[in-house]
Amino acid sequence: MTDAFDFTGKKVLVTGGSRGLGNAMVKAFAARGADVVIASRKLENCRNVAREVEAMGRRALALACNVVSWSDLDRLAEAAWSGMGGIDILVNNAGSSPLAPSSLETSEDLFDKIVALNFKGPFRLSAQLGSRMAAGRGGAIINISSVGAIRPRPSIAPYAGAKAALNALTTAMGFEYAPKVRVNGIMPGRFLTDVSRAWDEEQRKNRTAALQRSGRPEEIVTAALYLASDASSFTTGSVLQVDGGIA
């Protein structure tokens, strides 16, 4: 039986790939044979990760991109596609969940930035690369959503709404780019990434989850590998919860 998670020869693009969950997924794909494009706003951070990937014996391409910018995303799609000779797997991971004191006190600027980062960006990049995949050898798109999309709270209302929209996009594009491209999503719960360093002890423990703890970055990796691989060849338009069991 062949290794279902062998990505030798595959080309993967991960947005927000220089840190946190994105960084964990970059390393996981590279460790299993993939060449990787690392994209984020800060080019030097991407280059640092690219050097680590190259030390693993894989090709790496570091590209700066602000995913709220339509033109930046168009340039990213073109540079990644031409630089790697195509993209087989896109992971829309870049996102942010800034808190607001109340809905009334949420500024228009903050609202627009949250929606642009968490929904508009993945929409445009998926359209750019999904259409190319569908016209070529096919591929897989993975949207990193949030359990907040189905468990919204007042302090993250715009973020929860944007991630709910991303879930809807996952289903819509699953139809649009089928049968050659599969589009799926992951809804993470609370994970111990660099962002969690600012959390207090109770937040880190995450006692409201059924598993009574927060996730480790490597614990999202297998979900991403599964959805990117032929092991999930009959799965599209689905969104998988990886949240430790949040009621």
Which residues are catalytic, by number?
A: 159
CB atoms within 10 A of CB 110: 13
Integer distance in angstroms from the first to the last C-alpha of the chain? 38
Sign of CA dihedral 82, 121, 144, 167: negative
If you count them, how many residues does the chain have?
A: 247
Written as six digits, the tokens of 8 are 């030798």
Sign of CA dihedral 201, 203, 209, 213: negative
